[in-house]
Chains A and B, each alone.
Chain A
C-alpha cells in the first residue's frame, strides 16, 4: 500500500507570496492532519480534516488555511508568506480521528 505522499517536496518562495501544499493520504484513510516543524518550535499542529470538514485547528494565524476534498486529499495554503513560515510541513493520515497517524515525507518550504 502506498504511503502518504506530499507535493512538492521542496519549495522556495519570496516574502509576501502565497503557497499551496498538497497531501494524498494512504488509500482508505479519511482523516488528514497537518503539522509544522521548525528547529525553534518543534512539531506544531496546524489542522485536522475528516470527511471534508475541519475538526480541529491549531494556534496559527488566519494566513494558514486548508481544505479536504471528497477523495480525502488535502491542501494547505499559506498566504502573505513571512520569513518565519520557513519550515518542514508534514501531512499525516489515519483511518479515522484518534487512530495512529502515518506521516508523509514533508514539504520543505523556504521563504526568502
Chain B
C-alpha cells in the first residue's frame, strides 16, 4: 500500500533562513508521481510541483528546490531565504500509475511552517 510520511510536524524559522521539508514515501509501483502542495491559512491547496518516478533530476524554481532520491524514497523540498509569505502547511503526496493513469493522491500529514519576521 502506498504511504507518505512527513516526520516533521511543525517548523519555525526566522525570515531569510533556508528550510528543508522532508518527505519519505512507500510504494510497490515502479511508475508513480510525487507532488508538493501548499495550504496557506486561506485553506486552498496550491500546486507546487509534480515529478514522475523516472525523472530524478533536481528541480529549482526561484527560491524553491526539490531533491528526489529513489534510493532513499525521499522527495525533499527546500525553501531558500524564507519569507513570511511562505508560512503555510506543506503537503507531500503520491499517486501510483502502474495499473493505469490514476488521480488518487495519498497525502502526508503535512508540515506547518512558520516564518517569523
A94 at the interface (CB under 8 A from B): yes
Query: Closest residue of chain A to B35, judged by CB?
Result: A100
Query: Are A45 and B105 CB-contacts (below 8 A) given A100-B35, A103-B44?
Result: yes
Contact of A98 among B93, B103, B106 (CB under 8 A): B103
Contact of B45 among A42, A50, A97, A103 (CB under 8 A): A103
With an 8 Å Cβ cutoff, the count of chain A residues facing the other chain is 27
Query: Closest residue of chain B to A93, judged by CB?
Result: B103
With an 8 Å Cβ cutoff, the count of chain B residues facing the other chain is 25
Shortest CB-to-CB span from B96 to chain A, Å, is 9
Query: Closest residue of chain A to B44, judged by CB?
Result: A105
- Contact present for A33 and B105 (CB under 8 Å): yes
- Contact present for A100 and B105 (CB under 8 Å): no
A21 at the interface (CB under 8 A from B): no
A interface majority secondary structure: strand
Query: Closest residue of chain B to A48, judged by CB?
Result: B103
Chain B residues near A45 (CB-CB < 8 A): 104-106
Query: Are A101 and B44 CB-contacts (below 8 A) given A42-B110, A43-B91?
Result: no
Chain B residues near A81 (CB-CB < 8 A): none
- Contact present for A98 and B105 (CB under 8 Å): no
Query: Closest residue of chain A to B105, judged by CB?
Result: A45
Q: How far is the CA of A92 from the CA of B50 in the complex (A)?
A: 15
- Contact present for B101 and A98 (CB under 8 Å): yes
Interface set, chain B 88-108, CB cutoff 8 A to A: 91, 93, 95, 97, 100-108
Residues on B lying within 8 angstroms of A by beta carbon are 33, 35, 37, 42-47, 50, 91, 93, 95, 97, 100-110
